[in-house]
Structure 1
């Protein structure tokens, strides 16, 4: 009898262990805090002043999340991710109306056929082009972004109501596509988004291309379809510069079409890269105004030792069209030095300098480094941060 009881208990323990191995949920996160100096920020009617402040997310947004998977057999898995960004300086969420403001999706993954997910997700520019830039990586991040992050390489906004497919890797290729629904009866295209991308890796070469299109019928934020694909309050807006809104400019236009491509080449402890993006906006604010933003980024990383990494980028950007009163262009130089205490904890020093050369009566005539609270009162702005980052 005792032998039977022991045998049954052993069987139950074995089955419980197998069930646990087939299903998992993990808590994860990243905390990025620093002290930031900005050379010039507009402060109301008093002009520009320098600023010393404690900041959160100078390189990567602080966030926490849950991710899980359940083995369904035959190479299939049910997966989910719930992720929320927050400001470490004051403990507040980065969004007033979302619990999981960065990502929230569920789906099914197949070893042979790829992954389908539904929810709030990143687009093809973020997935396929951003890793080849420094703004979309841990080696540069927020302040390295192109002006206003108009191309979304720094993941300033995510796509709601989206269905996404990502292929498995085959012969070095990986493909992806996404569609974000407007969720509006009688307004199928009013605040919708669609995107696709591809990457190819062969030896030391890494190529990526992405496309993102936003469509809307809104002229002002109050007219925006609030249940649509893009509703974020983000740093990618031109608020205070074009008196636009606190949402991405593309959802206040008939369309925003963003195309990007990049390449990285690895040699020894170094990686060199180049990224080009273009964003065309038509009839923003439902007028005849149009704009075309182009960004050219050259970047470089070098692992000085296994613990010390150096990185830098130069970006040239220009804006044209009939909405700017001219053709302003930006020059930005960014650099970062990182020291790793361990795989999870590091300290860094990073900085960015930007100069804008406006043309004609362009309202884009002042410098504004991405992630800095306010634009400069002049054509130049300098930012520097010393920070600590921890992953869990």
Structure 2
């Protein structure tokens, strides 16, 4: 009988165990809490300053489970279940969904790409957002464009999605998705999205398109792709009224040199047959132009700024002017104690012009009584 040294036997057993157990489940999350000051908020017929405790001013507070199982031949089964909630009161976000941020399962291959099914983000969020001031690594929720009209901050997440994302081919990644209405009225409350991103050294470019059909009047009990009440319950100030057709297109680019990063983004959004801005089945479109920059002063301290100019047209309103314009300037400083924990300070200023329009910075606590609004926030984040 051939004898095997004990150390070799143990090593062989351990290797076999690891090779047969290439599956994992990871618990992860971000906790973001802060204190916010707003100079002017209109509530209950009066206007004044507001000081409030906030949750998710930069990064939406969340926890989730992420899993993968090696199926062999470079193929993996994957899943994500991600919950959003308010850290100040513990309430669920995303219109009281248990896993309202994301919930999907799929198959992934480095060579052929990934196919997933479930509740997911569109490609404006996947490809364009990371190159803007709305990126999760930048200002995120506080820096969104007016009403999140271009969905860069995913105020409208998509349900019933079949999604394909390619592998990385020399810096190029592309994808497409379809979100089912789950109704006998097949064309009502469904969505499409496609996009691509490209990276070459310090240069990155992205473009994407999103179309949502028939979202007007939808709620969490609706069977379709979108719940327009979700952005309200999440406190994002998204474009909540719905429309017969929503079309959004965006492009963005940025360039990194040393500790600096500069970027530009343009997005265009159209809403047909909407009841916003005092309209009755009217139309609205937005053109958003954003410049952004970040600079790492030290490995622990970074600063950033973005400026977004929004040119809109409202067709047919008797209450509001037809051509409102917004300009919002955002400043941010982040100090990292570690890779997991940081503190931040932000300041946002918005100015709007046009008949009967008032300023309304996202998460400010309410619209201003004038065309100007200022918000300042200090907060803390930790990740696990």
What TM-score, normalized to structure 1?
Answer: 0.89
- Counterpart of 2:202 in structure 1 is 204
Q: Which runs of 5+ in 2 are unaligned?
A: none
The equivalences for 1:151-166 within 5 A come to 151-166=150-165
Give the deviation of 1:108 after TM superposition.
0.1
Evaluate the alpha carbon distance shift between residue 355 and residue 69 of structure 1 in structure 2; reply closer, same or farther with a 3 A threshold: same
**Structure 1 unpaired stretches of 5+:** 240-245
- Check conservation: 2:62, 2:84, Cα contact below 8 A: yes
Confirm whether residue 255 of structure 1 aligns to residue 267 of structure 2.
no
What residue is the counterpart of 2:76 in the other structure? 77
Native 8 Å contact 2:179 2:192 kept in 1? yes
> The residue matched to 1:321 in structure 2 has which SS?
strand
Deviation at 1:379? Answer: 0.9
Check if 1:29 corresponds to 2:18. Answer: no
Provide Cα deviations, 1:331-386, integer angstroms capped at 9, x if missing partner.
11000001111111111101101011114xx5xx0100012221111111111111
What secondary structure is seen at the aligned counterpart in 1 of 2:315? coil
Residue of structure 2 in register with 1:391 after alignment: 383
The aligned residue for residue 88 of structure 1 is: 87
Report if the CA contact (8 A) 1:158-1:232 is conserved.
no
Change (3 A) 1:129 1:368: same
Change (3 A) 1:35 1:302: same
Distance in 1, matches of 2:339 and 2:228, equals: 32
Once the two structures are superposed, residues 256-303 of structure 1 have per-residue CA deviations (whole angstroms, 9 ceiling, x without a partner) of 100000110111110110000110111124954111111110000001
**Aligned in 2, Cα 1:17/1:201: closer, same or farther, shift over 3 Å?**
closer
1:335 to 314, 331, 337: 331
1:227 matches 2:223: yes
CA distance in 2, matches of 1:271, 1:310: 11
Paired with 2:177 and 2:53, the residues of 1 have a C-alpha distance of 37
* C-alpha RMSD of matched pairs (Å): 2.4
What's the CA shift string for 1:221-241, capped at 9, x where partnerless? 57x98110011534479x9xx
How far apart, CA to CA, are the structure 1 residues paired with 2:205 and 2:122? 17
1:267 equivalenced with 2:257 (yes/no) = yes
Distance 2:326 2:134 in 1: 16
Q: In structure 2, what is the equivalent of residue 131 of structure 1?
A: 130
Structure 1 partner of 2:349:
353
TM-superposed CA distance for 1:205, in Å, is 1.1
Matched-pair contact (CA < 8 Å) for 1:175–1:198:
yes
Supply the distance in 2 between the matched residues of 1:247 and 1:200 (Cα, whole angstroms).
Answer: 28
Query: Aligned partners of 2:13 and 2:248: how far apart in 1?
Result: 55
State the SS of the aligned residue for 1:151: coil
Q: Deviations over 1:137-187 (max 9, x none)?
A: 2221111110001111112221000011000111221101111000001x1
Q: Which piece of structure 1 moves more, 112-121 or 169-178?
A: 169-178
Contact 2:272–2:283 (CA under 8 A) maintained in structure 1:
yes
Q: Between Structure 1 and Structure 2, how many residues are aligned?
A: 372
Q: Distance in 1 between matches of 2:268 and 2:145?
A: 11
SS at match of 2:20: helix
Which residue of structure 2 aligns with residue 242 of structure 1? none
Equivalent residue number for residue 370 of structure 2? 378
